[in-house]
Amino acid sequence: MEAYLMQFIDLILHLDKHLPEIMAAYGHFIYLILFMVVFCETGLVVTPFLPGDSLLFACGALAATAPEGMDVTIIAVIFLVSSILGDACNYFIGEKFGVAIIKSERGLIKPQHVQKAADFYSRHGHKAIFLARFVPIVRTFAPFVAGIGKMHYMTFAHYNVIGAVVWVTLFVGAGYFFGNIPVVKHNFPLVTLGIVIFSIMPLLYEVFGKKLLGKK
Query: Alpha helix (H) ranges present in the chain?
Result: 2-13, 15-26, 29-43, 53-65, 72-103, 111-124, 128-131, 138-148, 153-178, 182-185, 188-199, 201-204, 210-213
pLDDT digits (tens, 9 = 90+) for 82-102: 999 999 999 999 999 888 887
3-state secondary structure of 215: coil
Structural Rg of the chain based on CA atoms = 17
Residue 138 in contact with residue 117, Cβ under 8 Å? yes
| Residue 1 DSSP code | -
What ranges do the domains of the chain cover?
A: 2-213
- Cα distance between residue 196 and residue 75, in whole Å: 21
The alpha carbon dihedral of 174, 177, 179, 182 has a sign of negative
- Residue 125: its pLDDT value, please? 76
Residue 76 predicted with pLDDT over 90 = yes
Query: Helices 15-26 & 29-43, crossing angle to 10 degrees?
Result: 130
pLDDT digits (tens, 9 = 90+) for 91-136: 999 999 888 887 776 666 767 767 777 777 777 778 888 988 887 7
- Cα distance between residue 175 and residue 98, in whole Å: 35
For the residues 3-14, what does the mean pLDDT come to?
A: 56
- Cα distance between residue 66 and residue 62, in whole Å: 6
- Cα distance between residue 19 and residue 162, in whole Å: 28
Residue 155 in contact with residue 126, Cβ under 8 Å? yes
Find all residues with CB under 8 Å of 186, minimum gap 6, and list them: none
State the average pLDDT for the chain: 78
Q: pTM for this structure?
A: 0.77
CA dihedral 71, 33, 188, 10 (to 10 degrees): -160
